[in-house]
Amino acid sequence: MSRRARLLLFTAAAAALAVTLGAGLAGLPSFGGQITSYARILNELAPRQRHVTDVVSAITFDYRGIDTLFEEFILLGAVAGISVLLRPLSDETRQLPRDKAPDRAIPPPSPAVWLLAVFLSSLLVLTGLETVTHGTLTPGGGFQGGVILASAIYVVFLGTNYVTVERFQPAPLLEASDGVGASGYVVIGLLGLLAGASFLSNVVGLGVTGNPISGGTIPLLNLVVGVEVAGGFAILASEFLDQTAVIRTRRR
Amino acid sequence: MTGVDLAVPAPAIISASIAVPLAGAAVMAGFSWLLPRWARDLIAIAVALATTALTLILMASSAGHPMIYWFSGWRPSGGTVIGVDYAVGPLGAGMASLAGVLASAALVYCWRYFDTARGRHHALVLIFLAASVDFCLTGDLFNLFVAFELIAVTAFALTGYNAGHPAPLQGAINFAVTNSLAGMCVLMGVGFLYARTGSLNLAQIGQELTGRHADGLIVVAFALLTGGFLVKAAVVPFHFWLPDAYGSAPIPVCVLFAGVMSELGLFAVIRVWDTVFSGLAGVSRPRMQAVLLGFGILTAVAGAVMALAQIHLKRMLAFVTMSHLGIYLIGVGLLTPLGLAGASLLVIGDALAKSALFLGVGVVQHQRASVSEIRLRGRGRGLAVTGVTIVLGALVLADLPPFVSSVGHALLVDAADQADLPWTEIVIALSVIASSGAVLRAAGRIWLGWGADERSRPDTGTDDDPGEEARSGRLRSVPLTMVLPPLALLAIAFGLGLGLISGLAEHATAAAAAFSDRAAYAAAVLGPHGGPVPAGGRVAVPASPAASAGGVLTDLGQVLAALCVAGIALNRRAVWLRRALAAGTGWLRRLHSGLVGDQVTWLAAGLALLAALGQAALH
Amino acid sequence: MSVLAYGVVAWLFLVGIYGVVTSRNLIHLVVCLSVAQSATDILLLEIGYRAGGHAPVFVSLPAHLGPAVDPVMQALALTDVVVGAAVTALLLALAVQVHKRAGTLDPDALRATRE
């Protein structure tokens, strides 16, 4: 289709879709009104039954834990897929960035930038760990904390250079953490099965509400997801950085 | 008939059917650097075969009554569903087993095919398999969405595998953009239904909607959910991504896509219809039938016509796949258990045949460094086994008796007769004849050297694809792991048709009847709060349809007609016919521009159309 | 209030799709896709909203608290964000490779798969 024809067809379709969506949205209960009984039941039950204060975490890792298992594998699949898509191909080679003028060294990063990077990345790691481990008590959890942890690597890259970053994250370690995180979730799920209950049942001791360790398997799953997400995003960082800094077309 | 008694408790098997492939995938993704090459292939194949075995056990043991399994132990409390459930039935478990068989065949084929990715493609295939199993077994609408997205994410990555060439990359982009928009539509539909009914469980949503009248919100939810799944199922006008993706994805990946991924889209359409929307008051069944049949017929015909116009073998098979998806939609769209049973058996038989075709084309590409029918003319000598495989595959697609697809076709014909729509059978027959004829024409040109020498014809459209082996300069003799899987798949199709499982047609019909029974499903899932269980009626299966002489003659006639089409296509004197057809269908070909902007525009237009039609059918 | 709140959903979704349809740069296309994605997140969160409600976190609560908002929709939105991130990352990787192999980032200039 010519661009004009495409635009005409789209305008017509968009107008029709606007009407359609409008009709659908008009049927929704009024904004800010009552919430569903499913939600109300969970808000009442979760703190009592699971000894957690963050109900969203309880839903994510307990009541609807099987959804999160597949969500975790969406991330694993995406990371594996990107590793496949960005791998060095047969006409490419890996070559560390080197200064073309052999008699000069790459100037080291300025002390101010370096200091800022150290400070920020430490802060990010601490925040990330806090978010992961307190997922049962306050908003947060494995996914959110894992991303914060992984972003520390970007800060290190910005403050130093590629070679330093590579030294901090050997590829097998990252892949292993990814794999451990993903299989850890499955293993914890099987624990429930072994204990005679359903897959992903919460069979570990529930602890006292308000303690960092409470909620049974929920903090364990948080930890495991945090490991997987952090490892996954770190792999992503390394893959995209490789494409810009390291992978070059092979000169025949 | 009651299910099979299991020595191992059912919860273990149900959990294992997803835990095994997921754990296998995690090991492949995280620890493949530890394992030698042969170990990775072996473990992956073993995991896929184990998953197939588990889902087959589930299929056998759930015949007669669905097995409901609540994850994390959260059973419904006071009539409200709190947790997520699996509702295992023979139809769903059967589709999951099909996914397992195809994944195993693809992984065996991969043994000597992928070499630069160090085990990550194993992880992707195993995750794809786990997600397909979840998709087929789940009873929760949001879990269905999550599985839908997981299948999609692994599929996008696998499509773009040969990342060194623009065609797979473009195919992957078109696939990813259109299908992630489809996922967004599905999620919006889920949100709308939750807002109205307060639940994410299929049975509970259906129970809440039973007897209510469909207003704007319900119609829009229907359009968004069905539209999103129809994108995955590559139904016109949501299908434009399919030839781009299937035509450039690696061969073993095409096996998975063509055999089971798109069919899962149709599975979701009928699943959501049967459990959620079919109980609405004021639903006009004839109009809904007409809507689905309309989409199915358009897809079947367009796919067949486009298949005839292709010389790129993989794109041709992509359009053949699309045409058959239209036929399954016709079967599903009859909205009767018999139609659904016929479509299911057709899906199984055709999946085995299409996979054999793709794998055969892969062998040709491996050995002759081309997928262009014109360039391969006469170069099939020395690949006799593959030639037989491809011809046989095309004939099975044309419903050659006694393969299982002819059993399915017979059931579908009976369903159409029962629904007073015998003219749909003609549409089905013509589409099948045309699409199989295209493949047979290609086989005739490649192996027998028939047809005019058209190498001087200017190359338009998608370029030829010499395959990774030729590009890397390593042409070896074709390994057994590439030749045997297609034959094995065809053998399974043959065995099933001959009666490997006795009473296949009856089992399929019973499974479809259980699948379509909304009230019984709600009662099974929700327990005593699900309302009274109606007396189950048995769906009458016409006596031994597969053996009826009329059915066999029709199928043989289709096969002969397909061969004739191939012959006419190759006949030098029929060139005027070919030119006329090409001129008449040029507009259709030009629409398939491969540009993602066009494809998304058609998606938007299709959604709007579906909403309008849904409004008419649900009132 | 309802009209404006829910109208945002339709607007964002359609504007995102418009961006995808008319895009001349793959990176721009990917971002437009996430705009459309955010429409679905907003829809879920708005369905779960309750006027005067507080977050479903039952710690350090003030003395006079209202009802809590819907936690299920928040869990669903969280999942949707993860899905969106995964797809965005995949598409960006594809864009990187397309730029290398086809020499262009213009989706309308890609001619590798067509009739």
With beta carbons under 8 A apart, name residues in chain C contacting A10.
18, 21-22
Quote the CA–CA distance of B532 and B250 in Å, as a whole number.
Answer: 51
Q: What is the pLDDT of residue B536?
A: 47
Q: What is the pLDDT of residue B456?
A: 57
With beta carbons under 8 A apart, name residues in chain C contacting B194.
47, 72-73
Looking at every residue in chain B, the average pLDDT score rounds to: 87
Q: What is the pLDDT of residue B546?
A: 45
DSSP B165: S
Q: What is the pLDDT of residue B470?
A: 58
Quote the CA–CA distance of B452 and A16 in Å, as a whole number.
Answer: 49
Quote the CA–CA distance of A172 and A174 in Å, as a whole number.
Answer: 5
DSSP letter string, A132-149: HHTTTTSS--HHHHHHHH
Cβ–Cβ contact C109 with A under 8 A: no
Is C23 within the bounds of a domain? yes
Quote the CA–CA distance of B304 and B152 in Å, as a whole number.
Answer: 26
Phi, psi of B87 (to 5 degrees): -115, 95
Q: Measured between alpha carbons, how far is residue A66 from residues A58, B55, B74, B197 in Å?
A: 12, 18, 12, 22
Q: What is the pLDDT of residue B117?
A: 53
DSSP letter string, chain A: --HHHHHHHHHHHHHHHHHHHHHHHHTSPPTT-PPPHHHHHHHHHHHHHH--SBHHHHIIIIITHHHHHHHHHHHHHHHHHHHHHTS--TTEEE-----SSTTSPPPPPPHHHHHHHHHHHHHHHHHHHHHHHTTTTSS--HHHHHHHHHHHHHHHHHHS-HHHHHHH--HHHHHHHHHHHHHHHHHHHHHHHHTTS-TT---S----TTSSS-STHHHHHHHHHHHHHHHHHHHHHHHHHHHHHTEEEPP-
- Kindly state the tokens that stand for B550: 């009329």
CA distance B319 to chain C (A): 12
Q: Measured between alpha carbons, how far is residue C58 from residues A34, A48, A205, B355, C71 in Å?
A: 19, 11, 21, 54, 12
Which residue range(s) make up the domain with C28?
Answer: 2-50+69-107
Cβ–Cβ contact B172 with C under 8 A: yes
Quote the CA–CA distance of B478 and B493 in Å, as a whole number.
Answer: 24
Interface test with C, best of B600, B602, B603 (most C CBs within 10 A): B600
Mark yes or no for CB contact C20/B243 under 8 Å.
no
Name all chains with 3 or more CB-CB pairs below 8 Å to chain C. Answer: A, B
Quote the CA–CA distance of A67 and A69 in Å, as a whole number.
Answer: 5
Mark yes or no for CB contact A85/C97 under 8 Å.
yes
Mark yes or no for CB contact A41/B146 under 8 Å.
no
Which residue in chain B has the smallest CA separation from C48? B195
Q: pLDDT tens for chain A, 252 residues: list them.
A: 888 999 999 999 999 999 999 999 999 988 888 888 889 888 888 888 888 888 999 899 988 989 999 999 999 999 999 999 998 887 888 877 776 677 777 677 889 998 999 999 999 999 999 999 988 888 888 999 999 999 998 898 888 877 777 777 677 777 788 888 888 888 887 877 777 667 777 767 777 766 777 778 888 889 999 999 998 998 888 889 888 878 877 765
ipTM: 0.96
Is C10 within the bounds of a domain? yes
Quote the CA–CA distance of B606 and B600 in Å, as a whole number.
Answer: 10
Residue C60: exposure state from Cβ atoms within 10 A (0-12, 13-18, ≥19): exposed
* Nearest-by-Cβ selection for A6 from B26, B220, B601: B601
Quote the CA–CA distance of B55 and B526 in Å, as a whole number.
Answer: 24
Closest C-alpha to C110, from B170, B87, B495, A127:
B170
Quote the CA–CA distance of B143 and B147 in Å, as a whole number.
Answer: 6
With beta carbons under 8 A apart, name residues in chain B contacting A69.
22
Phi, psi of A33 (to 5 degrees): -80, -155
Q: Are B510 and B63 a contacting pair, CB within 8 Å?
A: yes
Mark yes or no for CB contact B69/A198 under 8 Å.
yes
With beta carbons under 8 A apart, name residues in chain B contacting C113.
167, 170-171, 174, 243-244, 247-248, 462, 594
Q: Measured between alpha carbons, how far is residue A38 from residues A35, A198, B190, B204, C72 in Å?
A: 8, 21, 15, 11, 8
DSSP B226: H
Tokens 């995003």 sit at which residue?
A233
CA distance C43 to chain A (A): 9
Mark yes or no for CB contact B149/A28 under 8 Å.
no
DSSP B447: I
Q: Which residues 6+ apart lie within 8 Å of B296 measured at CB?
A: B235, B326, B327, B328, B329, B330, B332, B333
Q: Are B156 and B234 a contacting pair, CB within 8 Å?
A: no
- A93, β-bridge pairs: A248
> How far is Cα of residue C81 from the mean position of the Cα atoms in its chain?
7
User: Any idea what the CATH number is for the domain that residue C85 is in?
Assistant: 1.10.287.3510
Interface of A with B in 97-156 (CB under 8 A): none
With beta carbons under 8 A apart, name residues in chain C contacting A71.
79, 82-83
CA distance B204 to chain C (A): 16
Quote the CA–CA distance of A34 and A31 in Å, as a whole number.
Answer: 9
Closest C-alpha to A199, from B18, B49, B145:
B18
DSSP B528: G
Which residue in chain A has the smallest CA separation from C53? A32
Record the pTM: 0.94
Quote the CA–CA distance of B578 and B440 in Å, as a whole number.
Answer: 16
- Kindly state the tokens that stand for A144: 């959110």
With beta carbons under 8 A apart, name residues in chain B contacting A73.
22, 25, 127, 130-131, 150
With beta carbons under 8 A apart, name residues in chain B contacting C111.
594
* Nearest-by-Cβ selection for A179 from B31, B134, B605: B31
Mark yes or no for CB contact A86/B163 under 8 Å.
yes
Count structural domains, chain C. Answer: 1
* Nearest-by-Cβ selection for B169 from C33, C37, C101: C101
Q: What is the pLDDT of residue B545?
A: 46
With beta carbons under 8 A apart, name residues in chain B contacting C22.
597
Q: What is the pLDDT of residue B257?
A: 93
Quote the CA–CA distance of B119 and B114 in Å, as a whole number.
Answer: 9
Provide the residue type at B566 as one letter.
A
CA distance A14 to chain B (A): 7
Is C56 within the bounds of a domain? no
Q: Are B300 and B427 a contacting pair, CB within 8 Å?
A: yes
Provide the residue type at A178 as one letter.
D
Which residue in chain C has the smallest CA separation from A69? C79
CA distance C21 to chain A (A): 8
Mark yes or no for CB contact C114/B462 under 8 Å.
yes
- Kindly state the tokens that stand for B195: 């807002």
- Kindly state the tokens that stand for C94: 């594809």
Q: What is the pLDDT of residue B330?
A: 95
Quote the CA–CA distance of B298 and B301 in Å, as a whole number.
Answer: 5
Quote the CA–CA distance of C5 and C43 in Å, as a whole number.
Answer: 9
Helix crossing, A217-245 with A142-159: angle to 10°?
Answer: 30
Which residue in chain C has the smallest CA separation from B152? C87
- Kindly state the tokens that stand for B330: 């016709």
Cβ–Cβ contact C8 with A under 8 A: no
Q: What is the pLDDT of residue B543?
A: 46
Mark yes or no for CB contact A87/B116 under 8 Å.
yes
- B459, β-bridge pairs: none
Mark yes or no for CB contact B73/A81 under 8 Å.
no
DSSP letter string, C9-20: HHHHHHHHHHHH
How many residue contacts between A and B have a Cβ separation below 8 Å? 236
> How far is Cα of residue A89 from the mean position of the Cα atoms in its chain?
27
Cβ–Cβ contact B247 with C under 8 A: yes
Is C36 within the bounds of a domain? yes
CA distance C37 to chain A (A): 15
Q: Which residues of chain C have pLDDT under 50?
A: none
Interface test with C, best of B143, B154, B161, B180 (most C CBs within 10 A): B180
* Nearest-by-Cβ selection for C113 from B171, B597, B601: B171
Q: Which residues of chain B have pLDDT under 50?
A: 1-2, 530-537, 543-547
- Kindly state the tokens that stand for B580: 């006329």
With beta carbons under 8 A apart, name residues in chain A contacting B179.
none
- Kindly state the tokens that stand for A44: 């009442």
Which residue in chain C has the smallest CA separation from B601? C21
Mark yes or no for CB contact B605/A9 under 8 Å.
yes
How many residue contacts between A and C have a Cβ separation below 8 Å? 136
CA distance A225 to chain B (A): 13
Interface of C with A in 60-79 (CB under 8 A): 67-75, 78-79
Which residue in chain C has the smallest CA separation from A248? C100
Rg of chain A over all Cα atoms, to the nearest angstrom: 24
- Largest Cα separation within chain A, whole Å, is 73
Q: What is the pLDDT of residue C19?
A: 96
Helix, strand, or coil (residue B477): coil
* Nearest-by-Cβ selection for B30 from A3, A39, A175: A175
CA distance C7 to chain A (A): 7
Q: Is the alpha carbon torsion for A237, A241, A243, A247 positive or negative? A: negative
DSSP letter string, B91-143: HHHHHHHHHHHHHHHHHHHHTTT--SSTTHHHHHHHHHHHHHHHHHHB-BHHH
- Kindly state the tokens that stand for B137: 């077994």
